[in-house]
Amino acid sequence: MLDKVLKVGLLFDFYGALLTEKQQQCLEMHYLHDLSLSEIASEFNVSRQAVHDILKRAEQILIEYEARLKLVERYQQEQQSIQEAYDLVGALPAELRNIPEIQSVRQKLATLIDKSEEV
């Protein structure tokens, strides 16, 4: 279940703006605010089944966008490459790691992979 939440969240980050406002709101309420189908249905004054259908349709749309555009896949590959470059720079001998330009590169790589580690 957690995998699904993470997957939908990541897809929503990339493609959420392409959904209808109601689809966006339902996904946010269900996945981000952890509201039940009943709670969302009450908010929109619709049935639980309607909310279920909206969520399933929105999830399917997000999956279809990713299948065509592959932005999430590309992002994940880029993050992996950046992490590998960061690790390679970190594995350099100390005398090379202490060169200011090398430190600068490592800091920039750390920023790209959201590391708060001191270089």
Residue count (the chain): 119
Q: How far apart are CA 91 and CA 21, in angstroms?
A: 48
- Residues 54 and 23 sit within 8 Å (Cβ to Cβ): yes
For residue 1, the model assigns a pLDDT of 67
Which CATH number applies to 2-69: 1.20.58.220, 1.10.600.10, 3.60.15.10, 1.10.10.10? 1.10.10.10
Query: For each of the chain's 119 residues, which pLDDT tens digit applies?
Result: 679 899 999 999 999 999 999 999 999 999 999 999 999 999 999 999 999 999 999 999 999 999 999 999 999 999 999 999 999 999 999 999 999 999 999 999 999 987 544 33
For residue 109, the model assigns a pLDDT of 94
- Going by C-beta distance under 8 Å and a sequence separation of 6 or more, which residues neighbour residue 118? none
pTM: 0.80
Give the chain's end-to-end CA distance (angstroms, integer): 37
For residue 44, the model assigns a pLDDT of 96
For residue 2, the model assigns a pLDDT of 73
The angle formed by the CA atoms of residues 15, 18 and 24, to the nearest 5 degrees, is 85
Q: How far apart are CA 103 and CA 99, in angstroms?
A: 6
For residue 115, the model assigns a pLDDT of 53
**CA-atom Rg of the chain in angstroms:** 20
- Residues 29 and 40 sit within 8 Å (Cβ to Cβ): yes
Amino acid at the residue 48: R
